[in-house]
Structure 1
C-alpha cells in the first residue's frame, strides 16, 4: 500500500489540559493573590482621583492605537468581516475612550484600568504571552506637575503591594530628534542611524559620520543627578534645558518621598518608548528580572486630527504574584455538617473564611482549614 508523506506544516498534536506556549492557569492561592494585587493597585489610583474604565478585550484593529502591530493576535470578525485584534496594551484604549465617550469631560481627565492583554510572542525576560496590566492615565496635560503626580502614584501603588528595592529609570525619547531639529549636526547620517548608534553606544560610527556632537550623550547616563549635571554642560536649546529642570524636580520629589528609591537617567534610551514624547520611565523592583511597569508622556489623537497631551503608566501584575506578594493570610474554619447558618454568618463578620462540611466526618485538613468549629467555639485544627 502506498504511503503518503505528511504535510510539512502539520500541526503538532495536543492533549487535553495543555495550554498554548506563554499561557498558564493561575491556581490557589496565586489567583487570589493576583486579584488582591489588582485591588491594591487600583485602590491607590482611586484614592488620587482616578476613575476606572473597562474597555473590551477585542477591538477593530484600526482602533488599537498603542502597542506594536507585530504584537497583536488578529482574526477576521465573522459578523463584520473586518479585522479584529486582541489588545496587547490598554493605554491606547483609554485614550480612545477619552477622545470619544469622554470628549466633553473637563481636563485633565484621570482614568485607571486593569485587565488582561495578549501578545503574539514573549521575550527572554518576559516569556508570557498573556499578562495582567493595571495602570492610570492623565489625559489633557503632560506638564512637569502632571508627570510628578503620575510617577508618585505609580511608586505609591507598587510600594503598597510590598515590593522592595524600587528603582525608576528615566529617559527622554524625543531628545535626539529635538537636538537634530535645533541644529546639532547629523553629518552624513540619518536621524535613524544616529539613534541606532546611540542605542549601541557606537562612538566610532558617530564620529566617522560627522555626528560627534551626539557622543557626549552616551556618557551622560547613570544616577540622575550626575547625568543631569553632564547634560547641562552641553550646548542645549532652552526647551531641552526646561525638560532637564522638570526631570530634576521629578527626581527630587521621588527621593524625598521614598528614602530607598533609586533614580537613574539614560537620555537616549528609546527601546519600547517609540510613542512617548519628552519623558519616559521604567519601574523595577528587587527580585524581578524584567520591569514591573513603564510609562511616560504621549499624545492622543482626536478624530479631527487634533493632538492632546497625556501621561500615564502601566504596571504588570504577574511578576508581583511570582514574588509571593498579595497573598492574604485569612484563617479558614471548618463548619462541620449540621452547623447552624447563623454561626457561619457571625464568623464571616469577624473576618473568618468559613468552609462548610458537606459530609459527616470531614476533616479540617482535607478542606485546607486551620481551625474547626467545635463545642460552640473556634478551635485550632
Structure 2
C-alpha cells in the first residue's frame, strides 16, 4: 500500500477529534453518574467472546448474527465473535457471573463493532451506552426503563422537540397465534407492516383468518381508540391481546404523567427486532434526525441460553449519535518555563479551576503550542491568565 494511503480508515470507521471527544466523554460520565443515581450498577464486558456466548440473541435475531464479526481464536481454535451488542454479555453476567436473586440493574458503556453500518450515515463502531433490568415482569419495570431513558436524553440536553414511540409485539403475536398463521405468512405480514404498505396489506389479508383484524392493526396502528373500534369482539376478548393492549395504555399514561410536555406516539406494528423482543418496545426520536436517539424493549427469557431464563427489559444508545454536531471549545493556558514555587502554585490553581495548562519545555515558545488560547503571565508579581 502506498504511504499516502496508510492513514486511511475502513468505511464506517472514524477518528474522534479533541473538540468532539471531550463532549462525548463528558456525556458518558454524566450518563453513567445518572444511571448510578437510579441504582444501575456499572459493568465492563470483554470486547471479544466465544461465539456461543454472543449467540443468545443471534439465535432469535438474524440481523445481529449478520452484524457480528467472527474470527478464529489462535489459542483454542474456537470461533470468536466481536461484540455487536452488549445485551447478551450482560445477560451472561446476570445468569452466571453475578446471579442476583430478585431484581438486578446494570449499565454499561463501550465500543461495539458491526460488520456493516446499521443505518444511514452511521458508524460501524458505535460507542454503546445502555441499561438493563433483570428479574421483574411487571409493567412497572418497563415504565421505569422508559423514564430512565428519557432522563438520560434530558441529561444530554436533547429534550426539546423529542418524540417517544411506543409499541408492543404482543398485539401482533397474539393475533398471529389466534389465526394459526405459518411462519412464512407471519414474515410477509411483518414486512408489510414495516413498509406501511396499506394497499398491499388490504389485498394480502383478504383471504386470511381474522384478515380484517390484521388489516385494522396496520390501518389504525397509531390510534388505539380507532383500532379498538375496528377490531373484532373475539380479538378484543383474547387474553393475550387484551394484556398487551392494557400494558401499552398503562405505559403511555404513566409516562405522560411523568413527562407532561412529551410528545408520545403509538405504533402497534413497529416490529423492529421483532424476533427477540417479547413485549413493550420504545424509542426516542428528535427533529431532523432519521435514526432514534435511544431505543429498547422487553426481552424476557434472554438468559435461557445460559441456563437462567429471567424477565428483562432495557435500552441502549450510541453516544456518538447522541452527541452529533456538538463541539467543545477547549481553553488551553500556556505557562512559562520554571520550577519556582509561586509559578507552580499558580499553575496548580488554574488547573484546579478546570482549565488545561501546558508548561513550556526547553526552547519552546507560544508558537510551539498551536492550540493555545490563553497564557499565564506575571503582572506586577501576580500570576494572571490572559487571552492570547
TM-score bracket, shorter-length normalisation: 0.7 to 0.9
Match of 2:139 in 1: 144
Instruction: Look up the SS of the partner of 2:253 in the other structure.
Output: helix
Is 1:97 the equivalent of 2:89? Answer: no
C-alpha distance 14-294 of structure 1, shift in aligned 2 (>3 A): farther
TM-score, length basis structure 2: 0.86
> Is contact 1:294-1:315 (8 Å) kept?
yes
How many angstroms does 1:238 deviate by?
Answer: 3.1
Is 1:252 the equivalent of 2:259? Answer: no
How many angstroms does 1:347 deviate by?
Answer: 1.5
Match of 1:8 in 2: none
Deviations 1:317-374 (A, max 9, x none): 11123221xx555643221222632221122222222121225562289442332211
Match of 1:108 in 2: 103
Instruction: Look up the SS of the partner of 2:44 in the other structure.
Output: coil
How many angstroms does 1:292 deviate by?
Answer: 1.7
More deviation, 344-353/127-136:
344-353
- The alignment yields a C-alpha RMSD, in angstroms, of 2.6
Structure with the higher fraction of residues in helix conformation? 2
Match of 1:66 in 2: 57
Instruction: Look up the SS of the partner of 2:242 in the other structure.
Output: helix
> Is contact 2:92-2:306 (8 Å) kept?
no
How many angstroms does 1:30 deviate by?
Answer: 1.2
Deviations 1:31-80 (A, max 9, x none): 22221111122111111000000110101111102352111111100001
> Is contact 1:355-1:367 (8 Å) kept?
no
Residues of 2 paired with 1:371 and 1:49: CA distance?
Answer: 41
Instruction: Look up the SS of the partner of 2:266 in the other structure.
Output: strand
How many angstroms does 1:187 deviate by?
Answer: 9.9
Deviations 1:283-320 (A, max 9, x none): 21234221122100012234675521100001111112
Match of 2:61 in 1: none
Deviations 1:132-187 (A, max 9, x none): 10000000113210011100001000111111322111121232221232x34659
1:146-225 maps to which residues of 2 (within 5 A)?
Answer: 146-163=141-158, 164-181=160-177, 183-184=178-179, 186=181, 190-200=185-195, 201=197, 202-210=201-209, 211-222=211-222
Residues of 1 paired with 2:42 and 2:182: CA distance?
Answer: 49
Residues of 2 paired with 1:48 and 1:41: CA distance?
Answer: 11
Is 1:362 the equivalent of 2:371? Answer: no
Match of 1:319 in 2: 321
TM-score, length basis structure 1: 0.87
> Is contact 1:221-1:264 (8 Å) kept?
no
Residues of 2 paired with 1:188 and 1:16: CA distance?
Answer: 48
Structure 2 residue runs of 5 or longer lacking an equivalent are 59-63
Is 1:50 the equivalent of 2:40? Answer: yes
Instruction: Look up the SS of the partner of 2:278 in the other structure.
Output: coil
C-alpha distance 14-108 of structure 1, shift in aligned 2 (>3 A): farther
> Is contact 1:126-1:290 (8 Å) kept?
no
Residues of 2 paired with 1:69 and 1:187: CA distance?
Answer: 23
C-alpha distance 61-304 of structure 1, shift in aligned 2 (>3 A): closer
> Is contact 1:136-1:312 (8 Å) kept?
yes
Residues of 2 paired with 1:296 and 1:271: CA distance?
Answer: 10
